[in-house]
């Protein structure tokens, strides 16, 4: 009987491993990485990342970061975005890039140079109907290059667009 139970247990184990392998075969490794980043982003930013839209746009003198809700009727979500973007502008102005590190669980390219050249960069929070944006300005070429590196990384990581006309809503 013990031998019979062992065979049944082994068959179940083989079946479970085969099922898990089949389930994983169709999954992309980046899906879980992206979902984890979205989850951390919701905590740091205070809004559901799948119902918000990011834009990370390079501009000749820096760039801009836009975060909007899918709808303007979510007054609480819009208020959280505006508060977050004011916090981001103040933190970045002080050379503090902790929040992007928390969202990505890694150092964000360009952030170290932006922190080192914080005196050469200005950050302006601007309210929008469904959220807010942070406009980044600099006349320092190295700072602008770092801003572009930072925004490029963000755009790719968040599966976001670079121009307002191409807004993606947090979905891969």
User: Is the pLDDT confidence value at 13 over 70?
Assistant: no
User: Is the pLDDT confidence value at 73 over 90?
Assistant: no
For the ranges 63-77, 111-125, 149-163, the maximum mean pLDDT occurs at 111-125
Rounded to an integer, what distance in angstroms lies between the CA atom of residue 170 and that of residue 168?
Answer: 6
Confidence band (pLDDT; 50, 70, 90) for 54? confident
Please give the structure tokens belonging to residue 83: 């508060």
What beta strand segments (E) does the chain contain? Answer: 52-59, 62-69, 121-128, 131-138
At residue 33, the pLDDT reads 74
Per-residue pLDDT of 19-47, as tens digits, reads 333 333 333 345 777 666 666 666 667 67
Mean pLDDT of the chain: 76
Q: Provide φ and ψ at 123, rounded to 5°.
A: -130, 130
At residue 23, the pLDDT reads 35
Annotate 96-114 with b (16+ C-beta within 10 A) or e (fewer).
Answer: bbebbeebbeeebebbebb
Kind plus residue range of the DSSP H or E element containing 51: none
Confidence band (pLDDT; 50, 70, 90) for 142? very high
At residue 38, the pLDDT reads 66
At residue 77, the pLDDT reads 87
Rounded to an integer, what distance in angstroms lies between the CA atom of residue 131 and that of residue 129?
Answer: 6
What beta strand segments (E) does 13-166 contain? Answer: 52-59, 62-69, 121-128, 131-138
User: Is the pLDDT confidence value at 170 over 50?
Assistant: no
Per-residue pLDDT of 86-139, as tens digits, reads 999 999 999 998 887 777 577 889 999 999 999 999 999 999 999 999 999 999
């Amino acid at each position: 009987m013990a031998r019979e139970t062992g065979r049944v247990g082994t068959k179940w184990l083989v079946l479970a491993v085969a099922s898990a392998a089949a389930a994983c075969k169709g999954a992309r490794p980046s899906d879980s990485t992206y979902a984890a980043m979205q989850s951390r982003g919701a905590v740091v930013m205070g809004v559901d990342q799948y119902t918000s839209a990011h834009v990370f746009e390079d501009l000749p003198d820096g760039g801009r970061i836009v975060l909007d809700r899918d709808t303007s009727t979510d007054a609480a979500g819009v208020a959280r975005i505006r508060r977050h973007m004011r916090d981001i502008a103040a933190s970045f102005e002080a050379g503090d890039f902790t929040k992007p590190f928390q969202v990505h669980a890694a150092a964000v390219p360009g952030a170290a140079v932006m922190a080192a050249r914080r005196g050469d960069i200005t950050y302006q929070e601007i309210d929008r109907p469904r959220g807010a944006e942070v406009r980044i300005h600099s006349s320092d070429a190295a700072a602008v290059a770092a801003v572009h590196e930072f925004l490029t990384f963000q755009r790719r990581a968040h599966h976001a667009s670079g121009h307002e006309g191409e807004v993606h809503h947090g979905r891969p």
